[in-house]
Amino acid sequence: MSEEKTKELSASYDLTPVHRANLRILKEIDRICRKYGIEYMMDSGTLLGAVRHQGFIPWDDDADVAFTRENYEKFARVVRKELPKGMKLLEPHQLGGGEAFYDFTPRILYMNSKTHEDGEEMAFYGGRLNHLWVDLFIQDDLPECRVKAAWIRALHTFVYGLAMGHRYRLDYSRYKTPGRIAVKLLASAGKRISMKTIRRMQYGLAVRYNKGQSRIRYYSNYQPDYLCVTIEKEWNQETVDLPFEDTVLMAPKNWDQVLKQIYGDYMQLPREEDRVPTHSAIEIQVTG
């Protein structure tokens, strides 16, 4: 979607129904986790919204939470039986019979919503990407050695490039010449490798250093341009409750350091022209 179209949409419709739907998902995640003694953390724009706005960022149209690997695996074992009608867990291997790729991020879908027009691309992903969702990011241990950490991130980027060969379409105009060449080469090679194998490669990298010896973590299922975010374990070894809209949700105990790592001066508002939703191509429709 063009920047002009995005700004036009942001000025033309109310995000209140979107926030209401995302809040329902967040409350279900919170309910399930508290029931089973699982810790999660508000993340990215949702954590920023909790601190800066005591709820959703007014122009934000998605929501994010994070789990350590151990907590995500506990959550994944119980979430399907606990989610109410109208919400579903979507894991990456469920797209296109296991051979389509969007990213490595699981998410909770809000089925009574529509974020894109129906068409070939949505059909390619089985219609599963055509809903509001809450992203579920996973934190794994990262080696403290800078060389090893850089190597792991480079390998993640390589694997992500292979996986891009299984996307519906790639927009090479987004990349400068060196990046464009690299993406073309990796995607072309990735088409010859099954997504099952690529997912196994990504998982192996993600859990490789989960032995409790490192003092830092990273988001192993972020997109490559966000793999640089490094979290000190002491920042989120414990969680606290923060007010969010009409409820409280879990946040990392040292949320200030996490937000500084992701955003820098996080209390500084973006330019007014940049306060626009970014995750939909139409006016989001919420029917329940």
Nearest CA to 114 out of 104, 101, 128 is that of: 128
Strand 63-68 versus strand 132-141 pairing type: parallel
Q: What is the pTM of this model?
A: 0.91
Give the pLDDT mean for 145-149.
96
User: Is the predicted pLDDT of residue 5 greater than 70, yes or no?
Assistant: no
Average pLDDT, the chain: 91
What pLDDT score does 284 carry?
75
Question: Alpha helix (H) ranges present in the chain?
Answer: 3-12, 16-36, 44-52, 69-82, 120-124, 146-163, 177-190, 195-207, 233-236, 255-263
Distance (Å, whole) CA 100 – CA 94: 8
H or E stretch at 141: strand 132-141
Lowest mean pLDDT among 106-120, 134-148, 201-215: 106-120
pLDDT for position 274: 82
